[in-house]
């Protein structure tokens, strides 16, 4: 279990709750052995990617923040976790899809100039960004580990895209989608033990799910139910039956980082936090 306030937030794009429960054996090993907790999160709607990136990182709903579709390409007007960590003197870093750069660094994204940011300044202090949905998760986690080693961040945000990509290609009811979820779990089994041993708290969640048509955006449980795994000494391990609103994720991140949430965020209601 962690012994400090450092946090790695892993966001697995397009990961359904039930698919995670059925196929992520390593994460559930940690739950069964008292090393992690698991929740079911209900995403905001529309259950689309860019609006939910903003939800996860600012704790504000789409009608308020204005990021209501994937087609809105502009910087966020809200106070994000990246803003808050910088304001509180913490170091942040990310290995993420380019829409994260557009929200919190520079929009529109230019692959020739915006892929790598390592200057330690700005809202996102250090980032490595990709722009193709099939960019391998193996490369992404290597990018993230590089950021951890070289920048020693207090907050590291990792955005994995391959589960979503295969869900669109093959639908949620497919071997391709389920096998990709297993592959991510295997990668986590390879890298999380070291990160946990170094004292990092870990949270793993998703923006939205995936339906049998290989799409998302609506109000069904397939679209909206996603997992939340928390590895931290600040939270009692085990399976929690309470459904967690997605707007709770950002204030949870602030609590684990030991920083004040923004005034726009909900009061934190997740039980058993120490």
Instruction: Give tens-digit pLDDT for 4-56.
Output: 899 999 999 999 999 999 999 999 999 999 999 999 999 999 999 999 999 99
Instruction: Give tens-digit pLDDT for 219-237.
Output: 999 999 999 999 999 999 9
Q: Which domains does the chain have, with CATH numbers?
A: 7-257 (3.40.720.10)
Evaluate whether 103 touches 53 at the Cβ level (below 8 Å).
Answer: yes
Instruction: Give tens-digit pLDDT for 185-204.
Output: 999 999 999 999 999 999 99
Give the predicted TM-score (pTM) of the model. 0.97
Mean pLDDT across the chain, nearest whole number?
97
Percentage of residues in the chain with pLDDT exceeding 70?
99
What is the band of 3 on the pLDDT scale with cuts at 50, 70, 90? low
């Amino acid at each position: 279990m962690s012994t400090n306030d450092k946090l790695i937030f892993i966001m697995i794009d397009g990961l359904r709750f039930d698919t995670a429960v059925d196929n992520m054996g390593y994460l559930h090993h940690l739950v069964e052995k008292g090393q992690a907790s698991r929740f079911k999160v209900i995403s905001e709607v529309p259950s689309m990617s860019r609006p939910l990136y903003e939800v996860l990182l600012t704790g504000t709903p789409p009608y308020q923040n204005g990021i209501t579709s994937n087609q809105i390409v502009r910087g966020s007007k809200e106070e994000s976790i990246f803003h808050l960590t910088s304001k509180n003197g913490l170091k942040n870093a990310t290995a993420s899809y380019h829409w994260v750069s557009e929200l919190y660094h520079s929009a529109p994204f230019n692959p020739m100039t915006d892929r790598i940011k390592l200057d330690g300044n700005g809202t996102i202090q250090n980032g490595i960004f990709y722009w193709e949905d099939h960019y391998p998760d193996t490369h992404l986690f290597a990018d993230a580990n590089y950021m951890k080693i070289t920048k020693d961040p207090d907050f590291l945000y990792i955005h994995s895209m391959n589960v979503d990509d295969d869900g669109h290609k093959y639908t949620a009811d497919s071997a391709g989608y389920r096998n990709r979820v297993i592959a991510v779990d295997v990668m986590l089994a390879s890298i999380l033990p070291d990160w946990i041993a170094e004292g990092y708290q870990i949270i793993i969640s998703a923006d939205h799910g995936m339906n049998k048509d290989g799409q998302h955006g609506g109000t069904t449980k397939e679209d909206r139910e996603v997992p939340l795994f928390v590895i931290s000494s600040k939270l009692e391990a085990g399976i929690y039956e309470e459904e967690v609103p997605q707007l709770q994720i950002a204030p949870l991140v602030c609590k684990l980082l030991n920083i004040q949430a923004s005034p726009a965020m909900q009061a934190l209601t997740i039980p058993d936090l120490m």
